[in-house]
Chain A
Amino acid sequence: DAGVIQSPRHEVTEMGQEVTLRCKPISGHNSLFWYRQTMMRGLELLIYFNNNVPIDDSGMPEDRFSAKMPNASFSTLKIQPSEPRDSAVYFCASSRGQGVKNIQYFGAGTRLSVL
């Protein structure tokens, strides 16, 4: 079975450019999560969706970040304009349900470098 698929795996961009990260959750999963990993703060939840609807976006750092889930099999995380402090690994995860006992399955991540 295919797991959570993220693209691209690596992204290098210049400050001020728009960056779009993509995620395909596991088929049949109806909850999707976007995380950011940094050395200082570990894994931070940015936003999560349930049945394609954003439930909690309190972790989104600022208005430069936006996320969409147009259908059950695709989500994007966009940063516009990007800044060097956005450099991190971004993970997408999905789970079968919203409750905490539904295990979250993570993609391999996108390593973003903003120069």
Chain B
Amino acid sequence: DQQVKQNSPSLSVQEGRISILNCDYTNSMFDYFLWYKKYPAEGPTFLISISSIKDKNEDGRFTVFLNKSAKHLSLHIVPSQPGDSAVYFCAGSSNTGKLIFGQGTTLQVKP
């Protein structure tokens, strides 16, 4: 009964190229989505978010796209840098403050 799914456990890209991380959700009540980034031996840190009333939110090299009809969101990182190598978690929320996270995708950016 995973409400948030990240079907790709890992992704490897070359430095300077685009990284695209995908996330699917099943709960139609979600009205806010977030991406967190996690380095080894550290806790997750907030990266970017998007409200369900929008379809795109951009912050520097990071852009999140939301396709509500498909219940799909994606995180684009352009250009990718070696320091972006981390585990990325997407999460959905129905405005209760309770976040439902996916399993995470490990991104490796090769120099």
A contact residues vs B (CB 8 Å cutoff): 4, 31, 33, 35, 39-45, 48, 50, 56, 91, 93, 95, 97-109
**B99 near A107: Cβ-Cβ < 8 Å:** no
Q: What residues of A have a CB within 8 angstroms of the CB of B103 in the complex? A: 39-42
Closest Cβ of chain B to A25, distance in Å, is 12
Interface of B, secondary structure class, is loop
Q: What residues of A have a CB within 8 angstroms of the CB of B89 in the complex? A: 42-43
Number of A-B contacts (CB under 8 A): 67
Some 9 contacts from A to B, beta carbons below 8 A apart, are: A31-B97, A42-B6, A42-B102, A42-B104, A43-B104, A93-B43, A100-B99, A104-B46, A109-B43
Q: Known interface pairs A42-B102, A43-B89. Does A100 touch B43 (Cβ–Cβ under 8 Å)?
A: no
**A104 near B99: Cβ-Cβ < 8 Å:** yes
| Smallest CB gap from A4: residue in B | B43
Residue among A42, A97, A105, A108 with max Cβ neighbours from chain B (10 Å)? A42
Closest Cβ of chain B to A85, distance in Å, is 17
